[in-house]
Amino acid sequence: MIEALKSDEIVNKVGGRFRLTALIQRRLGEIIDGSRPLVERNGMSDLEVVIEEIMQDKITINDGLGDNA
């Protein structure tokens, strides 16, 4: 799953590496604070869950980061 971070597909989904980093960081914080994953965990780490949520279009940069992020 971490291999997905090496792909341009995930970078292009969110509009660049900076936005991807910001989205991952925000969502990881939410999950650590107790937010439920939007995909089945199936033994995945928190980071893998976030990556899968992005790949499945469950979360986007516009889900709370605003237009200036």
Averaged pLDDT in 10-residue chunks for the chain of 69 residues? 81 93 96 97 96 95 58
| Domain layout of the chain by residue ranges | 2-55
- The predicted structure's pLDDT at residue 15: 92
CA dist 30 and 7 (Å) reads: 24
Q: Distance of CA 55 to CAs 9, 14, 34, Å?
A: 9, 10, 21
- The predicted structure's pLDDT at residue 1: 65
Look up the pTM and report it: 0.83
HSE at residue 62, side-chain half, CA atoms within 13 A, is: 3
